[in-house]
Amino acid sequence: MVSLGLELQGALAATPPHLHDLRRALADISTGLSDAQDRLREIAHGVHPAILAESGLGPALKSLARRSATPVMLDVKVPLRLSEQIEVAGYYVVMEALENAGKHAHAKSVTVRAKLADDVLQIAVRDDGVGGADPAAGSGLVGLKDRVATLSGSFSVRSREGAGTTVSAEIPLARD
């Protein structure tokens, strides 16, 4: 859906200004697609993909990277299965960051790193987009911060105008 939205925005930008009715129709379709994405995200928020349940975080992140509208360099060093809550939280951190990189940051590439260190799952998603992300402006990043916090983890967003965005999460393998 993100890829379709980006293609639709490109078609809208390429439509000559004198074709008012077509431009309005394309803008309405783009708004409808964005609304459908938001509703679908809300519905799926508590549901995770079968690959995550069956194979774990590493294969699930590879699947996300393959489906991303933005090229992804993936560096995953998670050699064992984690608790379901931790895998789901990690998955959603990466999913939301990838969606934001394509939808808002207009990134050309994204790097995703996930590793275990000192009994902590560390995730960092870095894009080369426009930067300036404001975690308080949207519900997606706020929801991720809350999800990670319920697992005694930390979540941060670093985003300077023109310097891309880095979304990071650290989730301990055992609750304190």
Instruction: Give the N- to C-terminal CA distance of the chain in Å, as an integer.
Output: 39
Same domain membership, residue 32 and residue 115: no
Are 93 and 155 in contact by the 8 Å Cβ rule? The answer is yes
For the segment 14-36, what is each residue's pLDDT rounded down to a tens digit? 999 999 999 999 988 988 888 78
* Residue 176: per-residue pLDDT: 42
Domain count, the chain: 2
User: 94 and 120 share a domain?
Assistant: yes
- Other Cβ atoms less than 10 A from the Cβ of 164: the count is 23
If asked whether residues 111 and 28 sit together in one domain, one would say: no
Helix (H, G, I), strand (E, B) or coil at 35: helix
Answer yes or no: do 125 and 60 share one domain.
Answer: yes
Note the pLDDT of residue 69: 84
**26 and 69 share a domain?**
no
pLDDT, tens digit, for every residue of 36-94?
876 676 556 556 678 888 899 999 999 999 988 899 999 999 999 999 999 999 999 99
Record the pTM.
Answer: 0.73
Residues 98 and 154 in one domain: yes
Domain match, 31 and 71 both:
no
| Domain co-membership, 140 together with 74 | yes
pLDDT digits (tens, 9 = 90+) for 108-145: 999 999 999 999 999 999 999 998 887 777 667 788 88
Give the residues across from 114 on adjacent strands. 76, 123
The range of the structural domain enclosing residue 15 comes to 2-42
Q: Are residues 68 and 7 in the same domain?
A: no
What is the CATH number for 63?
Answer: 3.30.565.10
Are residues 136 and 53 located together in one domain of the fold? Answer: yes
Tokens of 128: 């080369």
Number of H-type helices and E-type strands within the chain: 6, 5
What CA dihedral angle connects 119, 147, 85 and 111, to 10 degrees? Answer: -60
Considering only 47-56, 96-105, 153-162, which range has the smallest mean pLDDT?
47-56
